[in-house]
Amino acid sequence: MSLLTATALTKSYGAYDVFVGLDFAVAKGDKIALIGPNGCGKTTLLRILSKLDDASKGELHYARGVTFGYLAQTVEDGAETTVWDAMQTSFPELIAIQDRMKRMEEELLTPGSHAVTLAKYGSLQHEFELLGGYDLDARIRRVLTGLGFTRQDEQKRISHLSGGQRVRVALARLLLLDPDILLLDEPTNHLDAQGIEWLEHYLQEWEGTLVCVSHDRYFMDEVCERVWEMSLTDAMGGTVRMEQYHGNYTDYVVQRTERRERALTVFEAQQEFIKKEQEFIRRNIAGQNTNQAKGRRTRLNRMERLEKPIENKLMALRLGSATRSGNIVLEATNLTVGYRDDGRTLFSCPDLQLLRTERAALIGANGTGKTSFLKTVLATIPPLAGTVRLGAAVNIGYFAQAHEGLNLDNTVLEELMAADGTITLPMARNILGRFLFAGDDAFKKLGVLSGGERGRVALAKLTLQGANFLLLDEPTNHLDIPSQEILTDALDHFDGTLLLVSHDRYLVAALATQVWSLERETDGRTQLNIFKGTYDAWKESLDEALRKDSARVTPPVAKPAVAKPISMAVDQNATSKNGQIKKQRALEEAEQRITYLERKLSELSWQMELAGSNYERAKELGADYSRVESDLAQAWDALSLL
* Residues 530, 541: Cα–Cα separation, whole Å: 12
* Residues 555, 552: Cα–Cα separation, whole Å: 5
pLDDT of 638 reads 74
* Residues 568, 430: Cα–Cα separation, whole Å: 64
* Residues 614, 552: Cα–Cα separation, whole Å: 16
Low-confidence residues of the chain: pLDDT under 50: 235-237, 553-575
pLDDT of 75 reads 78
The residues spanned by each domain of the chain are 254-302, 328-538, 551-640
pLDDT of 550 reads 57
* Residues 557, 304: Cα–Cα separation, whole Å: 76
Phi, psi of 580 (to 5 degrees): -65, -40
DSSP 63-92: PTT--EEEE-SS-----SSBHHHHHHTT-H
DSSP 455-520: HHHHHHHHHHH--SEEEEESTTTT--HHHHHHHHHHHHT-SSEEEEE-S-HHHHHHH-SEEEEEEE
* Residues 228, 219: Cα–Cα separation, whole Å: 15
pLDDT of 560 reads 37
Whether the CB-CB separation of 225 and 31 falls below 8 Å is answered with: yes
Q: What's the CATH fold of domain 328-538?
A: Rossmann fold (3.40.50)
pLDDT of 603 reads 67
Length of the chain: 642
pLDDT of 82 reads 92
Q: Which residues pair with 328 in a beta bridge?
A: 355
* pLDDT tens digits, one per residue of 214-244: 989 999 999 999 999 987 665 444 556 789 9
Whether the CB-CB separation of 384 and 338 falls below 8 Å is answered with: yes
pLDDT of 505 reads 92
Residue 417 carries which DSSP code?
H
pLDDT of 99 reads 87
pLDDT of 235 reads 45
* pLDDT tens digits, one per residue of 523-535: 778 899 999 999 9
User: From its phi and psi, is residue 387 left (phi > 0), alpha (psi between -120 and 50) or beta?
Assistant: beta
